[in-house]
Structure 1
Amino acid sequence: MTSSSTGIPSSTVNYLIVTANVGTLFENPVGIQDVWIKEFSLVVEKQVPKFIALHCQEIGGKEYKSSLQPVKDFFSKLMDCKALVEFSTVRGYLDGDFNHVDQYTALGNFYFVHDSVKDVFLFDYTDKVFTDVSGKQIFSKDLAEVPNIRKEKFQQNFFPGCRWSRKGYSRVRWKIYEKEVEFVNIHLFHDDSNLVSIKSSPSPYTAYRKRALNFVTQRLKDDQFNESKLLFICGDFNFRLDLKALVQKICPTSRQQVVRAPSDDEIIRVLFRDKQCETLNGEEHKEPDVLVKIEKKLFEVEQTLLKEKFEYQYLKSFDSELSDTGLDWKEYEITFPPTYPFSENIADCEDYMRTRCPAWCDRILLSQTLWEWLHHDKANVYYNTMGSDVCMGDHKPVYLAFSAKHDLPKQSNETNNRQQSVETNEG
């Protein structure tokens, strides 16, 4: 194929970028892991990618110290699935350094290269060069010593009040047909208490996430060896809806009731009730209905208040964390329901747990340069979730699928010309 604008031979590569918080897969593995792999395979078969980036957060779940082997077993099973049989070049980076608490991020990066993609290289962050890559290799120990990945755990002062956190980011850079593309896996701090989130608009947790995202963005900008700036940053950003503004919207005439602990007067519950009403005959007040009930890790709401015509799209007006950062990251339009917190019960896979307000935590962002590249080529883009009607854990994986044109390197051009010449002569 030849690019019509430059006359230079080009190749179209189908990409599949996936982000998935997989903690639940190792806490309640029975049944869910097989379903997860099946749904991943279905997307691969439908989108027919030639390069796959899979970014995972919370590998190993809460029992991470005893889950490293189950994690390896799961990803080994994933690599052996039928949909990936033609991807003989694989690189996996599993952060299993849980004994180094100052470095441990619980992140996992996997990259699959189809056999048809010939000109692909990995960046060596130590020697600042791209190196050949082939075969399948999985790294799970001492990632700080592996030259093809850089990871960093966020400092504790990024998240005041948090005793310990595994949050951080990692990055891996590829060169695919002369295009340098860097993939950043990120996990930002969550809302620790709904009672804190409801106090102000926006909540204080948004400032913590903004600080961390600013930090990573600046790190990437300062990297003089990444001139192209074709960057994906994807992961569990833990972006949440503006809870106070949302409740004020869905319960505009409600009466707020605060419940305090008798021992220390600490707020333990906030209720939003229908205002009391009287009958026409002046009878006693009717017991008011509770519209919203909030505790530290409880968010109960009448579902019809969150849904509008059985859709969650109107909640997007309360999803403002990314735009409020002021950073120049781009994102395709979100048309899918909030990705968290889904029920971990296989029988209730389309319901949200009553722990947090539903939110679009899992996202895939693009740098301005990458955004312009895809729009210049008018790439067909699909931005969606995996396993919308099955249990995938408490997070629905999010994927971005697109096709992009690459100008072929000179050597590939000459090879193609020779092949064409041979075909012509034989004809």
Structure 2
Amino acid sequence: MLSDRMEDSDGLSLLLVTANVGTLFEMADVLMEIWMAEFGECVAQRQPKFIALHCQEIGGKIVDEETMVQTNAFCEKMHSQSVFSNYDRGRTFIDAEFESTGKFTALGSFYFVHKSVRHAHIWDFKRREFTEFRDYEAVALPVSSDDRCTAQRMRFPPDLHPLATGNRKGFIITRWMIDDRIFDLINIHMFHDANNFVAMESSPSSYTEARKAALQHVMDTLDRGDVTEPFFLFGDFNFRLDSHEVVKKLTENGIRQEVIGNGTGEDSSPARRKIRYVDSQDLNKLLLTVGKKTFDYYEAQDAFRTDNGKWLRTFDNELSVFPQLHEKEITFPPSYPYEEDVDRGTSLMKTRCPAWCDRVLMNSSAWNLIDRRKKEEYSLIGPSVCMGDHKPVFLYVSLTSTVNKRNIVSVTNEGDSRTSKSKVSVVRSDVRGINRWSACDRCSVL
């Protein structure tokens, strides 16, 4: 079976995973083992040559010194899994600057390289060269040394979404050369829908417009003029369905009723108001209730999950304004929001309209590198168990060669003084546009 699963020497199999793990850190005592087992099983079944796991909300939704200890435990548990015994190199980047409200992104990126891979290099944005690595290293953001920069961390400018006060949204960029394939990987977390009333007011909503601006900001950052390296952009985009149109569809035979409480409890103020839709033929039949953080459709479990919620794809439009980005066909249920209850892992939470928030996207250069002769998968991890409010999403593909080896010149350089004094191989690429990014003028140095 191993020979059937492993790609031949001319192929590079990738497993790209995105996971919003905020709930995991809030329920670590009951969810950690389940989550790790499901992720490990996904790896074991495919045995890719390169794994990239992009986490958002790492440490939880409120991060402090205690939750950073949990983050360390998460990393240790990850690497202790037997499934990773065949992965002998890698890098982890964790944003640990939780006390800096202007910089913290709560992002964590994990990368694993299989022992069958001949050469693995990571791009140093400061030195502007690829450096080969032969070990595993975890790096916490920020570090005091400004000697190198092997990842770029960026927060979204506050003017992209003025209402998102205290947000931690941003992205981390890394660049890789695995054997002779060069590609960029971007871990991203974009603005969410904070209020269902605002989300359903118009089409598109103000939240959708903010995400559009944020994604355009990322695209502008990645732009290298007339040369574009292959990149995979995956994370929690917070893409939502067009709530205005979804509500119209769900309540086309309904009557709208405003409910504002005047007593005690949840409905005691206008801020707690609800909008209810009742059946026009049976006023005792409640169709939908919407509140600031309530989206309760009476047939939700069937309507949103049967046939993987295929009918909802009509309202999944946020990516359509970026034709330069590509995505494999979605054939799985919405990735959010699920009950945070180990006994209700397949039940949708009644807080938001379900949506495919978690995605794996790529540019045309990356899209054209996929070897269509090899197995491809785009799906959820842990579809039948509780993984938190988000189900992780994965893409499994294989890549063909990306660069002409004549464009790579080998040189030698001193190894990282923190790991080894021996000389290691460094390669520089003559591919045009590869040095387009400045060293660290817009990022934190790793």
Q: Does 1:349 align with 2:351?
A: no
Q: CA separation in 1, counterparts of 2:202 and 2:143?
A: 40
Q: Is the 8 A contact 1:308 1:314 kept in 2?
A: no
What is aligned with 2:167? 165
Count matched residues: 391
After TM superposition, the score normalised by the length of structure 1 is: 0.86
Identity percentage of aligned residues = 35
2:366 aligned to 355, 358, 370, which one? 370
1:215 aligned to 189, 214, 217, which one? 217
Superposition map of 1:3-402 within 5 A: 11-65=10-64, 66-142=66-142, 145=146, 147-222=149-224, 227-260=227-260, 268-276=273-281, 287-303=283-299, 306-307=303-304, 309=306, 311-323=308-320, 325-374=321-370, 378-402=373-397
Q: CA separation in 1, counterparts of 2:271 and 2:387?
A: 36
After TM superposition, the score normalised by the length of structure 2 is: 0.83
Q: Which one has a bigger Cα radius of gyration?
A: 1
Deviation at 1:308, TM superposition (A): 7.6
With 403-412 and 140-149 compared, the bigger mean Cα shift is at 403-412
Deviation at 1:273, TM superposition (A): 1.1
Unaligned runs of 5+ in 1: 1-8, 278-286, 413-427
With 151-160 and 314-323 compared, the bigger mean Cα shift is at 151-160
Q: CA separation in 1, counterparts of 2:9 and 2:68?
A: 42
Deviation at 1:410, TM superposition (A): 7.4
With 292-301 and 134-143 compared, the bigger mean Cα shift is at 134-143
Deviation at 1:237, TM superposition (A): 0.3
The one-letter amino acid paired with 1:246 is V
Q: Is the 8 A contact 2:327 2:361 kept in 1?
A: yes
The one-letter amino acid paired with 2:168 is R
Unaligned runs of 5+ in 2: 1-7, 263-267, 409-446
Q: CA separation in 2, counterparts of 1:358 and 1:29?
A: 24
1:143–1:19 distance in 2 versus 1, CA, 3 Å = farther
The one-letter amino acid paired with 2:68 is L
Q: CA separation in 1, counterparts of 2:303 and 2:280?
A: 19
Deviation at 1:266, TM superposition (A): 5.7
What is aligned with 1:422? none
Deviation at 1:393, TM superposition (A): 0.7
Give deviations 1:126-146, integer Å, cap 9, x for gaps. 011001112111011315955
Q: Is the 8 A contact 2:184 2:230 kept in 1?
A: yes
Q: Secondary structure at the match of 1:347?
A: coil
Q: CA separation in 2, counterparts of 1:49 and 1:180?
A: 17
1:23–1:265 distance in 2 versus 1, CA, 3 Å = closer
Q: CA separation in 2, counterparts of 1:59 and 1:179?
A: 29
Deviation at 1:405, TM superposition (A): 2.9
Give deviations 1:270-306, integer Å, cap 9, x for gaps. 11111155xxxxxxxxx43220000000110012572
Q: Is the 8 A contact 1:180 1:228 kept in 2?
A: no
Q: CA separation in 1, counterparts of 2:10 and 2:406?
A: 13
